[in-house]
Amino acid sequence: MRIMYKRQVHNSTAFIQSLVANTNTTRLATQSSVERTRKKASKASLKKKPGKWPKEKIPDWLELNDTFNKHYRKPTNFDLNKVNRFFNNAKVKFEWCVSKFDDIPGQKRKDSSLHQESDNDISRKYERENIKHTTSINSSPEVIFLGGTNVGKSSILNNITTSRVSRDLGSLARVSKTTGFTKTLNCYNVGNRLKMIDSPGYGFGSSKGQGNVTLQYLLEREELVRCFLLLAGDKDINATDNMIIQYIHDHRIPFEVVFTKMDKVRDLDKFKKKVTSSGLMDLPALPKLIFTNSLTSSTSPKRFGIDFLRYTIFQSCGLIS
């Protein structure tokens, strides 16, 4: 009996321990199931009430892209989506960099063929003068980015080829805080549809040679279809900026104006007055005014204005109506 009693006690203890363990397991499983049910119900209620989702923070300055471009047709969402899809997916490759205009691949051969033409052939001379800023059948259209030192040209180039909602820039063009970091003309092929040219910054830290190669490119490059002049939104338009604007206007070089670093503008009303009084709106060429922020910040969580800049590039290259 004593052995039976001990065996019975042993079995009872094991049974109780097993029961407790099963009870705890069941309790945890039940709590986990209840938690999953609550999460599903919470998601379902949010779907039914769109107002519960956090709204995208739109900076006040973004509306300037409409305010200062009323004389141009506003791109549709379809157009912007098409252009964004191209730039987000296009393969970008570095093609060349030069410190002298004649060192551009194929340019020297092109110049020598022009010199062989007879000066008495008036019709050929007329054709040569009117071919400027148009592209040949076998070449891609080119757009160049101009601006003062540290205005953000390289950052803009990286923005154009990086997803608009991404917080990290691509590595297309090197970015530096050092004044005059870009020393040469740098060409990037975008999806074999167009080419973007990064130029040395003018002003402090630049050299005469850098200015000469840029000006020669502007005047003589047949593939050039549009200039994009970059001005820092948080800085005043200085005398050098006005001189460049006057130069490209006098030589009838098509151009648009891009204001960078708009997220650093503190007084928007003062900025509007600055743009209005700058004379940009009075130029016969009537350049588009494009407003962007190069980097994300608390006031600009995304890089806004880049889609409009992309669209303008595409349009200037004849790739969209």
Are residues 47 and 73 located together in one domain of the fold? no
Are residues 40 and 167 located together in one domain of the fold? no
Are residues 150 and 291 located together in one domain of the fold? yes
CATH number, domain of 153, equals 3.40.50.300
Domains: count for the chain: 2
The reply to whether 321 falls in a domain is: no
What does the pLDDT look like over 28-61, one tens digit per residue?
555 666 566 666 655 555 454 444 434 567 899 9
- What average pLDDT does this structure show over 263-281? 95
pLDDT (0 to 100) of residue 238:
94
Are residues 40 and 83 located together in one domain of the fold? no
Q: Give Cα separations from 111 to 115, 173, 320 (angstroms).
A: 6, 29, 31
Lowest mean pLDDT among 45-54, 87-96, 114-123, 200-209: 45-54
What does the pLDDT look like over 214-252, one tens digit per residue?
999 999 999 999 999 999 999 999 999 999 999 999 999
- Number of Cβ within 10 Å of residue 86's Cβ equals 17
Of 137, 254, 150, 154, nearest to 196 by C-alpha is 154
The reply to whether 292 falls in a domain is: yes
- What average pLDDT does this structure show over 69-80? 95
The reply to whether 185 falls in a domain is: yes
Are residues 20 and 152 located together in one domain of the fold? no
The reply to whether 279 falls in a domain is: yes
**Residue 9 pLDDT class (50, 70, 90 cuts):** very low
- Looking at the predicted structure, is the pLDDT value of residue 292 above 50? yes
Are residues 184 and 275 located together in one domain of the fold? yes
Are residues 183 and 288 located together in one domain of the fold? yes
CA distance 208 to 99: 11
- Looking at the predicted structure, is the pLDDT value of residue 178 above 70? no
Are residues 37 and 158 located together in one domain of the fold? no
Are residues 42 and 67 located together in one domain of the fold? no
The reply to whether 116 falls in a domain is: yes
Are residues 69 and 33 located together in one domain of the fold? no
**Residue 131 pLDDT class (50, 70, 90 cuts):** very low
Beta bridge partners of 144: 197, 227
Are residues 18 and 115 located together in one domain of the fold? no
Are residues 106 and 145 located together in one domain of the fold? yes
Q: What is the extent of the structural domain holding 26?
A: 2-52
Average per-residue pLDDT for the chain: 78
- Looking at the predicted structure, is the pLDDT value of residue 129 above 50? no
- What average pLDDT does this structure show over 278-286? 94
